Amino acid sequence: MKRSKRKYQKISDNELASYFKDNSSNELLSEIYLRFGHLMMGTCLKYLKNKEEAEDTVMELFEVLPQKLQKHTVEHFKSWLYMTTKNACLMRLRKKNIPSQEIDERIHAAPEEINTKFLEEEKYSTLEEAVENLKEEQKTAVRLFYFKRQSYQEISKNMNLPIKKVKSAIQNGKRNLKLKLEKNDNFKSA
């Protein structure tokens, strides 16, 4: 029966994967394409640096997705799709003999969840302290980005650093911040 609406529109990302166990209709693939096609394409562009190759890789991925999803039980669909996409790019690069590092498909990072007990205002000092203990570069970048809401470009100008460095300082700062807060048992993983 054909429907005029997106049948799977309201299904969560993780549930989408489980639907493949029973069937692998084009509607299901379309839903994935609508949600993640542009992210897959962007990721392929990042690693392959070529539009045609990126397009081919995305199309190839959609061909193998149904079998892969029927074979594996995927808990965190978005992370899984990211790893699968990234691996497909790296495989392609390897074929061209460009050295690269493969990523273990089993590592599916779960979305972070904030422990409710941390959501008390008095814990603000803990966060401040954690930020304060970051390395100078990361500290400044994190402060400007999250507290002052500046963009990468503005921070790059203010700190006189290339945008790439700004981004990695924020990413690393965020990771270190999480580690520091985890030490204090302020987080749990989903």
Partner 1 sequence: MIILNLLNRIFGHRGSLSRDEISSYQKKKNTHDIEEKSLSDDFDSDAIDGWTDSGIPIEEMSSLDEMFQSKYNSSVWSSSTILFFTLFFIVSGVILTFTYTSNQHDETQLVEVKENRQPNTIIPIDAIEHSTSEEDKVINSLETISKEKEVQPSSLKRIASTSDSDKSDTIQNTPIDQVTVTISPEVQSNIPVEENRNTLVYHFVDEFYLHDFKLIDYRKFRDAPIKKRKLVPAGTPADQEYYESEDQEDFVWKDIDISYVDYLDETMSYFEKSNYKKALKRCNVILTTYEDDINAHFYGGLCYYNLGQYEKAITHFEKSYNLEFGNFRQEAIWFKAKALIEMTELEKAKQLLQQIASENKFYAKEASSLLQKLK
- H/E stretch holding 114 reads strand 112-114
Which range binds partner 1 by CB under 8 A, 14-22, 35-43, 64-72, 94-102? 35-43
| Amino acid letter, residue 48 | L
Instruction: Give burial (CB, 10 Å; 0-12/13-18/19+) of 9.
Output: exposed
Taking CB under 8 A as the rule, does residue 40 contact partner 1? yes
CB of 47 to partner 1, least distance (A): 8
CA–CA separation, 35 and 78 (whole Å) = 10
Which range binds partner 1 by CB under 8 A, 15-23, 46-54, 67-75, 91-99? 46-54
Out of 14, 18, 19, 37, point to the residue binding partner 1 (CB under 8 A).
37
Task: Provide the b/e sequence for 53-82 (b: ≥16 CB within 10 Å).
Answer: bbeebbeebbeebeebbeeeebebbbbbbb
Coil, strand, or helix at residue 8?
coil
| Amino acid letter, residue 98 | I
Q: Which is nearer to partner 1, 2 or 106 (CB)?
A: 2
CB of 110 to partner 1, least distance (A): 10
φ/ψ of 46, rounded to 5, equals -65, -45
Size of the site for partner 1 (CB under 8 A): 69
Out of 91, 98, 114, 179, point to the residue binding partner 1 (CB under 8 A).
114
- Contacts to partner 1 by CB under 8 A: 1-7, 25-27, 29-31, 33-47, 49, 51, 54-55, 58-59, 62, 78-79, 81-82, 85-86, 109, 111-114, 118-119, 121, 123-124, 127, 143, 145-154, 170-171, 174, 177-178, 187
